[in-house]
Amino acid sequence: MSNELTHTPASTTDATDATTAVPRTADPDGAPVLELDGVSKAFGDTTVVEDLDVTVHEGELLTLLGPSGCGKTTTLRLIAGLERPTSGTVRLNGETVSGDGFVPPEERDVGVVFQDFALFPHLTAAENIAFGLRDLAGDERERRVANLLELVGLPDKGEAMPDELSGGQRQRVALARSLAPEPHLLLLDEPFSNLDVDLRVEMREEVRRILSEAGVTAVSVTHDQEEAMSISDRVAVISAGRLEQVDTPERVFQQPASRFVAGFLGHASFLAGSVEGEVVETGLGPVARERIPGLTAEYDGTDIDVLVRPDDVHAHADGPDNGTVVHRRYLGPTVLYRVELDAGDTISCMHNHADEVGLDDRVRVDLTADHELAWFPRGERAW
């Protein structure tokens, strides 16, 4: 039987329909805050965003995730009105702001947090936050600024100048300034890229808390997979200007819609398998067919590739060996191994840092995953 069959990931959400995935905190029955309908953007002969369809619901944090140059920042600029789409429609709260007509950035009620924070160096933290509140009376403006300083955890820093604040504090002030006018939508452009590693993790959690408490709908852009997975209600994975998949972090990681998504979201190994009756025969032994959802009758007798993550397998010295350690990378808390199986595949294994498996050791690799496994038809285009 031919292997050129259409592969649909097993999911309650059709991963090819970005507008139907249900986020964890947004109201899927409510009116969408942002809609991108067939949006494309070309610069000369180069298309950087192609036929993008995404809907963001009230209260949701959606992250656009992809490698450098994939079009995610251009998409953010299209939403903000800093770029005009070549084709397609952008709607905010049901109103068309790009497409048939164009609403300029200052009239879109969209806030932006830039990666360099862009605070006014000659203004205090409070004055930076108050900058967009000129229409409010003095007392009301002061109350709003005080409330925002409290929200971002800086109640005693209102009189501080930007150069007197740490990187994390400057980021909080920038966030408060963007939230001050109560925008319908907040855009975050690589918001943690200028922070050191430890502070980056802390600020991810803090920004998620602030957005949740403020009830703000937000779209973030990043190339950091861990960041996207840890703070987002949904993740939109983009490759070469095209949308690969939109779904919850759990779904895009566990049931990726393409090999690109599988490989971009952490280490991915592919175990060659043959569908034979109630099992899939692999280099690690038979796997029950019921553990690999979506293998309908049309796949009987076909060859597939089963996705395994480093924590799905374990290499050890006990029992008959079936592979050789060809790479070892010490990561502190863990050690990442690559094992070349006698059957021909090379897979990655993640072990505790105290495990003693050496380079060139003969080992036995067992499939230890206790969850459903994703798969792709053999020969399907890799990333």
Q: What is the pLDDT of residues 136-158, one digit of tens each?
A: 888 899 999 999 999 999 999 99
pLDDT confidence of residue 20: 32
DSSP element (H, E) containing 177:
helix 167-179
Q: What band does 380 get if pLDDT is binned at 50, 70 and 90?
A: low
97 and 203 share a domain? yes
Query: Is residue 19 situated within a structural domain?
Result: no
| Amino acid type, 179 | L
pLDDT above 70 (res 227):
yes
pLDDT confidence of residue 334: 92
Q: pLDDT tens for residues 362-374? A: 999 999 999 999 9
193 and 306 share a domain? no
Q: Among 244, 263, 282, where does a domain finish?
A: 263
- Output the CA angle 55-58-60, nearest 5 degrees: 75
Q: pLDDT tens for residues 46-79? A: 999 999 999 999 999 999 999 999 999 999 999 9
369 and 284 share a domain? yes
- Would you say the C-alpha torsion 74, 80, 85, 89 has a positive or negative sign? positive
Query: Is residue 366 situated within a structural domain?
Result: yes
204 and 95 share a domain? yes
Nearest-angstrom CA–CA distance, 311 and 307: 12
- Look at the chain and report how many structural domains it folds into: 2
Nearest-angstrom CA–CA distance, 141 and 134: 8
Nearest to 115 by CA among 190, 210, 54, 200: 190
pLDDT confidence of residue 27: 57
- Output the CA angle 29-108-18, nearest 5 degrees: 40
pLDDT confidence of residue 234: 96
Query: Is residue 12 situated within a structural domain?
Result: no
Residue 158 exposure: Cα atoms within 13 Å on the Cβ side: 15
Nearest to 209 by CA among 58, 25, 77: 25
104 and 198 share a domain? yes
Express as a percent the part of the chain with pLDDT over 90.
Answer: 72
220 and 356 share a domain? no
Higher pLDDT, 20 or 27: 27
| Chain centroid, CA 90 distance in Å | 21
pLDDT above 90 (res 13):
no
297 and 244 share a domain? no
Treating both helix axes as pointing N-terminal to C-terminal, what angle do 167-179 and 138-151 enclose, rounded to 10 degrees? 130
Query: Is residue 341 situated within a structural domain?
Result: yes
> Rg of the chain's alpha carbons, rounded to an integer?
24
Q: What CATH number is attached to the domain comprising 39? A: 3.40.50.300
Q: Among 263, 298, 319, where does a domain finish?
A: 263
Query: Is residue 202 situated within a structural domain?
Result: yes
Burial of 44 (0-12, 13-18, 19+ CB in 10 A): exposed
pLDDT above 60 (res 318):
yes
Query: Is residue 127 situated within a structural domain?
Result: no
| pTM for the structure as a whole | 0.85
pLDDT above 80 (res 265):
yes
Query: Is residue 158 situated within a structural domain?
Result: no
69 and 215 share a domain? yes
Which residues have C-beta within 8 Å of that of residue 262, sequence separation ≥ 6?
Answer: 256, 268, 307, 374, 376, 383
Which residues have C-beta within 8 Å of that of residue 316, sequence separation ≥ 6?
Answer: 357, 363, 364, 366
Q: Among 239, 263, 287, where does a domain finish?
A: 263
206 and 298 share a domain? no
Q: Which of 190-194, 209-213, 282-286 has the lowest mean pLDDT?
A: 190-194
256 and 271 share a domain? no
pLDDT confidence of residue 134: 79
Burial of 25 (0-12, 13-18, 19+ CB in 10 A): middle
Query: Is residue 126 situated within a structural domain?
Result: no
283 and 239 share a domain? no
Residue 94: domain span? 32-109+183-263
- The greatest distance separating any two alpha carbons of the chain, rounded to the nearest whole angstrom, comes to 78
Nearest-angstrom CA–CA distance, 224 and 31: 30
Averaged pLDDT score across all residues of the chain: 88
Q: What CATH number is attached to the domain comprising 289? A: 2.40.50.140
Q: What band does 239 get if pLDDT is binned at 50, 70 and 90?
A: very high
> Cβ distance 209 to 220 under 8 Å?
no
324 and 224 share a domain? no
pLDDT above 90 (res 15):
no
pLDDT confidence of residue 29: 56
> Cβ distance 275 to 232 under 8 Å?
no
